[in-house]
Chains A and B, each alone.
Chain A
């Protein structure tokens, strides 16, 4: 039974790509750079006024995708449902923000 159960468990685990640490290091460095950019944008007037907030929100979105895809393995096989869930959630929230900004306020 024990062997059988173990076999069962390995079968159900999502397949994980063995790639080493390179991707993670690149993503980590990119995240740090993006964070520094955000700080610079706010602290010094390098970005035109009024564009600062959209700019750092954009950086935040990029970082969120790094987090999801690199660190939380959303790009790997066996993550179809998390992907569907996250996209559906993004769609619903985007729809609501759009509605609030352009239709009902």
Chain B
């Protein structure tokens, strides 16, 4: 240990953020990047609804509309909500399990930068000849046709490939962190539910993302190197893409929703001042949902002619998922039952989540019936369904999480008055936007069409829907105003502003870089609440105050990701052998960074007890 430096490297400003390996700072970076992409996706949604405001409009035109729906879906799923989920996982999970950092801080930073540059690559397509226009599922009939997609699909393939690598790294990192770095006494059945759902989500990422990677590699070879995986004329099969995409894509929706379930569980329990009802059944339901999530992908393909046996079995498997999800809904209701409920903004989002998500789940069971699905398929009914689960479920959960954990992450409060306006405008706007779409779908309006005709009774529903989207836009703007107000306010958040139950509220807000001056001893579920009930002021330490080992910041993850970013453009624009040089340079940069990382040992540094005491922690 003698080769450790004993002083923290001094870095500040932009350089600090570009080189950080601190999970709390990476969490903030994820939230920031996710927030920016969320705005991009939101503006695309506004344009979509503007185009559909009246029948037979020509606001953006058909091809731009295709690009808008594709980029709206892709951006929201891969570049907005995934990073915000990872932001929360980074900022909160290590605190909830009493760890000082994640298992692989370097890999963590690499995961963020890969996601960021992948997303950037995808979004530069707007400026470089047109965004992808084949729908966010990129079905190969369109996606492998260069005449239809132009360069757009290349941006999709390479951007998602790079971003997907980052996500895969992040998932592996959190699996290892949660398995290996729990504080003494933090057994699996004492882990807070957000940690549990993050754990199951990470496992799903580990199993699901390789399928996407393989599918994207096939598509990349078809498009860039003239392969024929999806070319029926040469013995390929377009249906293979649909299978591969949904083998990834269905677990992906559970990757998205499970952390929201976790956030809701934390919020409902804290603001009802009660232990989560049926904790062990919640854990069981989470695992079961994760497991069943892999068994249902064919329900996205009921109408592609797979036969009655496959359709029936996958329909039944899909309906089965309603059982563990129902367990969760009832557990939240029973947690609130008889609780001392406080309707803070976070809890409003949680309470708004429950009925909204239940509606989305109910339409999901309707869609799971293959015979009925022939009617719903590719209509606005499907659009309404998945926006009810993804916006009404996931985005409500994430916004609730923002209001709940903002004090812990930034040390300041989001304003509650603006917050309540944020909730109500967003909530009402959301239902106005998507509730009529159920009926538009049942009346036969197909999804992904850029306009509709007069006199088919579709005008009113579309008009209400387009007005409702303003409510969501106002809600989002209020959220950003609130963030600005919070940044300017002088009011500091205390360590435990909500009378919290879990370990993250036992340490100062924002958490110091080493999280816990002394690793805490966990003595029950809801670790902090257990101590409060025992009459203790804080956690009992599990170790004496000693010097704390910290990882050194590194610029390598950033450069490594830039290498792949350059390689992406290089391969996209390469046509003859000579022009592959740019792509090869990019790959060489990345490989050189890997070599550098492997050869250069950096053992990190130590924070000594006297430094910790200066910062106000008693030994």
Contacts and interface: CB of A to CB of B under 8 A. Distances in A.
A85 B178 CA distance: 14
Interface in A30-65: none
Interface stretch (B39-47, B305-313, B482-490): B305-313
B295 A103 contact: no
B447 interface: no
A17 B349 CA distance: 52
Interface of A: 1-2, 4-5, 12, 81, 85, 88-89, 92, 95-96, 99-100, 103-104
Given A4-B546, A85-B203, A104 B307 contact: yes
Given A2-B1, A4-B546, A81-B179, A104 B294 contact: no
A104 B547 contact: no
B298 A99 contact: yes
Contacts of B1: 2, 5
A99 B207 CA distance: 17
B307 A103 contact: yes
Interface string B1-45: 100000000000000000000000000000000000000000000
A81 B310 CA distance: 32
Nearest to A89: B207
Main secondary structure of the interface of B (DSSP, over half): helix
Given A95-B294, A104-B306, A104-B307, A12 B180 contact: yes
A99 B310 contact: yes
Contacts of B313: 103
Given A92-B207, A99-B310, A103-B313, 14 more contacts: A1-B546, A1-B547, A4-B546, A5-B549, A81-B179, A88-B203, A88-B207, A95-B295, A96-B247, A99-B298, A103-B298, A103-B310, A104-B306, A104-B310
A4 B294 CA distance: 44
5 contacts: A1-B547, A92-B294, A96-B247, A103-B298, A104-B306
Most buried by B among A4, A95, A103, A104: A104
Contacts of A96: 247
A99 B311 CA distance: 11
A100 B242 CA distance: 13
Contact of A103 (B180, B207, B306, B546): B306
Contacts of A85: 203, 206
Contacts of A12: 180
Nearest to A6: B1
A88 B543 CA distance: 36
A92 B290 CA distance: 12
A100 B243 contact: yes
A-B pairs, 7 with minimum CB distance: A103-B310, A1-B546, A104-B306, A104-B310, A1-B547, A92-B294, A81-B179
A75 to B, nearest CB: 19
Interface of B: 1, 179-180, 203, 206-207, 243, 247, 294-295, 298, 306-307, 309-310, 313, 543, 546-547, 549
Contact of A104 (B180, B295, B298, B543): B298
Contacts of A104: 243, 298, 306-307, 310
A89 B206 CA distance: 9
A72 B207 CA distance: 20
A4 B307 CA distance: 63
A11 B550 CA distance: 20
Contacts of B206: 85
A88 B200 CA distance: 12
B328 to A, nearest CB: 22
B168 to A, nearest CB: 14
Contacts of B549: 5
B447 to A, nearest CB: 24
A100 B180 CA distance: 37
Contacts of B306: 103-104
Nearest to B4: A2
Contacts of B307: 103-104
Contacts of A1: 546-547
A88 B295 CA distance: 12
A16 B107 CA distance: 27
A104 B544 CA distance: 61
B420 to A, nearest CB: 43
Contacts of B309: 103
A99 to B, nearest CB: 7
Contacts of A2: 1
A104 B313 CA distance: 11
Contacts of A100: 243
A19 B207 CA distance: 34
Nearest to B305: A104
Nearest to A82: B179
A84 B374 CA distance: 38
Contacts of B243: 100, 104
A103 B297 CA distance: 13
Nearest to B240: A100
Contacts of B543: 4
B240 to A, nearest CB: 10
A81 B103 CA distance: 16
A5 B313 CA distance: 53
Nearest to A92: B294
A103 B306 CA distance: 8
Contacts of B247: 96
Contacts of A92: 207, 294
A68 to B, nearest CB: 17
B170 to A, nearest CB: 17
A87 B185 CA distance: 28
Contacts of B295: 95
A2 to B, nearest CB: 5
A16 B203 CA distance: 26
Contacts of B298: 99, 103-104
Contacts of B294: 92, 95
